[in-house]
Structure 1
C-alpha cells in the first residue's frame, strides 16, 4: 500500500518535470530563437549585406536567411530585411530587435510658397540649411559656397562639368554622409556641388526623394516614410 501511495505522489512530479523540459526545448528551438533576434547592419553592397545577428556576423546575399532574418535586397543606402514575416528597411549601423513593434511613420507637410516652390529646412551632414524640393533634379545639388558652409570637402569628389543655359561650369560629384528632413534621415546621399553661386537654395533632388513617399494635395507637399 505504501509503495502504491509513493508511486501516486511521484507521478505528478514526473509529469511536471517532463513538461518543464519540453518547455525549455521549445524555447531553445530555432523558431523561438528567431523571435528574439537582434540585427545590426554593419556593411552594405549591391544585394549583399554584412549583418550582426544575435552576436554572430553573417554575410547574406539577397534571398539568404539566418535565424529567421532574410535579406530581400540591399543597396548603398539600406538593407531590406524580412524578420519573422515583417519587412524592415534598415540603414547602415542601425539596429532592430525582433520583439516586433509596428514602425513609426514620420511625415513632413510643406506648404507651397507664392513662387510655387516647396521650401523647408534640412540637416545635411548634421548642419542646418534651407532646401527646395526639386523632383526634376537627379541628385541633391548645391553651390560650392553652400558645400563649404556644410563642411563638405567637395574638391575631394569626382570632377565633372555641368551645362547651364549660358555656360559650362565646373562641378564635383560627392556623397553626403546624411540628409535629414522632418526627422526622415537618409544616409550616403549622392550630390553635385557646382562652382559659383548657383543654385541659390540647395536643391533636394531624387537621390534623397527616392527614399520617401511624396504626395501633393491642395498646395501642400507631404514627405513620409515608415521608420
Structure 2
C-alpha cells in the first residue's frame, strides 16, 4: 500500500464530505458523534463514517439536525431528541456512550482516492482520523490537542518540516486512542501549530495491529 500524503488540503476535506453514491440513508444507526461545524452546518459522524455536513432540517442516515447553537447540535433520531457537543464521545442509538473498547478488530472502508478515514477518540474526545502508514506517530493540530485537554506545550519540542516550511512541534504521549470498539493506551503523538482538517493515524498506533487490505477494506487486528 502506497504512502498516504502526510498533509492534505481543503479540497480533499471537501471531497470527503460528499455522500457516497448508493449508500442507504436509512442505515442501522449504532453511534452518532459531532465532529465539528462548517458554517451553519454540523459535521455529523454516523457509525464511524466520514463526516457529513448537515444543515438544520436535513437528515443523514436517519439522524436529523434540529438546531445548531455554538458547538452544540440538537439531533432527532427514532422520534427522540438529544444534544451533541463537539468533542464528546460518540453515543449509541440508546443515548449512552459507546461500549468499553475491549474489541480487537477495526475495519475501515476506503473513502475515495486511496484514503482511509475513520472516526475515533483521543482521551475520550471525538476526532476524525486519516490512516497514514508513512507517519511515525499520530499527528494533530494544536486546536485538536487543546480540545482534547492536552497540555502539549509541556511535551518535548521537536523541529518538523511541513508543507509551509520548518516549524516547532511537540512530542507527547496520549493516554488513550480509540477507534470503534478498540482502545489502546500510552500512544506517541506529535502536535503541530498549523491547523489540520483531520488527525493522522500513524505507526505509533498502527504498529500494534496486524494490517490487511482487500479491495476497499482495511482490517486491523490487535496484536497487543
Q: When the two structures are superposed, what TM-score results if normalisation uses the length of structure 2?
A: 0.52
Deviation, 1:105, is 6.4
Residues 105, 226 of structure 1: 8 Å contact kept = no
Distance 1:167 1:133 in 2: 23
1:173 corresponds to: 171
Deviation, 1:115, is 2.6
Task: Give the alignment partner of residue 222 of structure 1, picking from 211, 214, 219.
Answer: 219
Task: Give the alignment partner of residue 160 of structure 1, picking from 158, 161, 168.
Answer: 158
2:86 corresponds to: none
Distance 2:179 2:103 in 1: 14
Residues 122, 131 of structure 1: 8 Å contact kept = yes
Deviation, 1:182, is 2.0
Distance 1:157 1:187 in 2: 17
Deviation, 1:111, is 0.9
Between 1:186-195 and 1:105-114, the stretch displaced more is 105-114
Distance 2:103 2:169 in 1: 36
Equivalent position SS for 1:118:
strand
Change (3 A) 1:169 1:148: same
Give every structure 1 segment of 4 or more consecutive aligned residues whose post-TM-superposition deviation is greater than 3 Å.
none
Distance 1:184 1:158 in 2: 28
Task: Give the alignment partner of residue 127 of structure 1, picking from 125, 128, 132.
Answer: 125
1:110 corresponds to: 108
Distance 1:224 1:182 in 2: 12
- Cα deviations by residue, 1:105-126 (Å, 9 ceiling, x for unpaired): 6322111112321011111111
Residues 184, 224 of structure 1: 8 Å contact kept = no
Gaps of 5+ in 2: 1-101
Deviation, 1:186, is 1.2
Residues 132, 202 of structure 1: 8 Å contact kept = yes
Deviation, 1:226, is 6.1
Residues 152, 170 of structure 2: 8 Å contact kept = yes
Equivalent position SS for 1:208:
helix
Between structures 1 and 2, the one with greater helix share: 1
Of structures 1 and 2, the larger Rg is shown by 1
Gaps of 5+ in 1: 1-103
1:19-58 correspondence runs (5 A): none
Distance 1:147 1:105 in 2: 25
2:184 corresponds to: 186
State the structure with bigger RCO (CA 8 A, min sep 6), 1 or 2. 2
Task: Give the alignment partner of residue 210 of structure 2, picking from 195, 210, 213.
Answer: 213
RMSD: 1.7
